[in-house]
Structure formats: C-alpha cells, structure tokens
Amino acid sequence: MEMIPVSSSNLESIGYDVETKTLRIKFHNGLYEYYNVPESIYHGLINASSKGKYHAAFIKDSYSYQKL
C-alpha cells in the first residue's frame, strides 16, 4: 500500500487499498489499519484542512481497527 505523507501535527502518512477498503494511518505514535472504510472517507481525510480533527470526527469511533 502506498503511503502519502501529510502535513499534520498528529498524522505522518495515509494509505488506502480500494479493493479491501482498508485505510492505513501512520501517526507519530504508531501505525493503524481501519477496515471497511469507504473511499469517500479516505478522500475526505486527504483533503481535510485538519486531518486530526477529521480522523476524530469521522473515523476513530466509526470503523474497526488494529494497531500494527
């Protein structure tokens, strides 16, 4: 999965697999995968002015995940 570096105080990079709908986020404190995430959520995160706020509002408590 290709990881795209992002400008954020909390996130380092973001990747997405369209086939499995897996969102991977590298935070400054670890790497996480979120499952069954719609592509629209991924695009919303990439385009958000505050990636940390977007993650907290639309991803954090909405999708199953695991720390890698």
- DSSP helix/strand/coil, 16: strand
Give pLDDT tens digits for 23-66: 999 999 999 999 999 999 999 999 999 999 999 999 999 999 99
- Residues 4-27: tens digit of each pLDDT: 999 999 999 999 999 999 999 999
Split into its structural domains, the chain has a count of 1
Strands 22-27 and 11-17, bridge-based pairing = antiparallel
Residue 41 in contact with residue 23, Cβ under 8 Å? Answer: yes
Give the tokens for residue 54: 């977007």
The strand pair at 65-67 and 30-34 is best described as antiparallel
The predicted structure's pLDDT at residue 39 = 97
**pTM attached to this predicted model:** 0.95
Identify the pLDDT of residue 68.
96
User: Domain range for residue 9?
Assistant: 4-67
